Structure 1
Amino acid sequence: MTLPRVDEYGSAARDSFRGAAAMRRLLAIFIWALGTVFCALGAQTPSASPDESPTQLPSISFTLDFPGSDPDHYSFKVDSNGHSRYESTARISPDSEDRDSFQLDFDLSAATRAKVFDLAARAKYFQEQPDSRKHRIASTGKKTLAYKDAAKNGQITFDYSPSAPVQEITAVFQTVSTTLEFGRRLSYDYHYQKLALDQELKRMEELVNSHSLYEVQAVAQVLRQIADDPSVINVVRSRAQRLLAGAGGAAPRL
């Protein structure tokens, strides 16, 4: 057998070395090119500063503070899609002095959402503070209405306003608060004192039937719990079922 010459071994080694070196050069060029592309993309898409925030939907907020009432504080924030948050501080039940905070995220009906945004427009987006000095009436609590979008930011604080749109939008939020507070109390009664459910639901039905309560769909979850629970007496379940059947009613024309 003829053995390869030493120079043949050297030639093969040199060829292998050259191949590896060429691959390293190609890899380095590829990494450099890739880095250049990413740098260019980064230059074209600057990162947002901490002070910048995403575009916000137009929103309306309402706050009422009335010490001695129940609830003594509550607030709404509603965006132009109807997504809403309600927060309040109230007694845990009518016969208790213990107070607790309450939060609920819900959707206003399309009709009520349209109504409050129309009223905000008629109230000039709360850019003008109402003059109530000529009207001496009993205090009904400190109220704040605010509107915010990309171009406007208005806020008014009042006890009483002579403005009809401000009065109407205040009445809408106060009535929806009444609905949501029914839901809060029903949830407490359902978990801790089921015998109190009948009286609460009876009052709720009376207000719905007199068109004094709306947005009942916002408390549908607790009504459904009551209606579906066989441990609850039938008369109470029937009341909850009737309220569910009519749920979704929007704010009437005031």
Structure 2
Amino acid sequence: MVIDLNADLGEGFGIWTLGDDVALLDVVTSANVACGFHAGDPVTIRRTCAAAVDRGVSIGAQVSYRDLAHFGRREMDVEPEELCAEVLYQLAAVDGIARAMGGRVSYVKPHGALYNRICRDPAQAAAVVDAVADYDPSLPILTLPGSAVHAAAAAEGVSTVTEAFADRAYTPAGALVPRREPGAVLHDVEAVSARAVRMAVEGTVTAADGGTVEVRARSICVHGDTPGAVRMARAVRDGLLEAGVVLQAFA
């Protein structure tokens, strides 16, 4: 059993800091670095990429809607050509900084509302895939099992990697429960760690209605912007290792 452990990092902006990126980089195997559209600024991106390179952590571009005011969590109707260009812009910017720090972007993970939208919207999914294909078709895209991204990526020769969320509630259909609903984000450290182990070992998770959902994934995400994120990430890592899971970046 080989699993990647990823977290959203570099989400500060200016004088506003969010999370403990350095501590999380000592825990995870992949870092989804904010690209400046939902969070992140040039200094933050540079520092995060440099710290990831120092620790041998894989760097991913966490592309988003252009939505600093709402942290990229507001769904937006963006024309495919514009969305493609904006994703390309973000990807190129973070990859350029990562290369200057001695690394490179090795995968793409959409953020927030964009992540959820392209799981079910073929047009926006294709726009994101087009941007990746234009920049570097060898870069895999992280997405949920059953996402519309899989078909769009296959049509363009871009690979996908399935992902599960240790600290998010699931609907019976295998989607993430919207954050505006109660219980969408889980905070019990022991429960989240146990869920991650079950996801890795059994490929299943208990949905919000009590049913079982299949979530076979190569990567598991723990969010870096929630209270106690470092403690939770460490608990998830320890739980996986104790279960005999090998932690290794997919890219």
- TM-score, normalised via structure 2 length: 0.26
Q: Give the structure with the higher percent helix.
A: 1
- TM-score, normalised via structure 1 length: 0.26
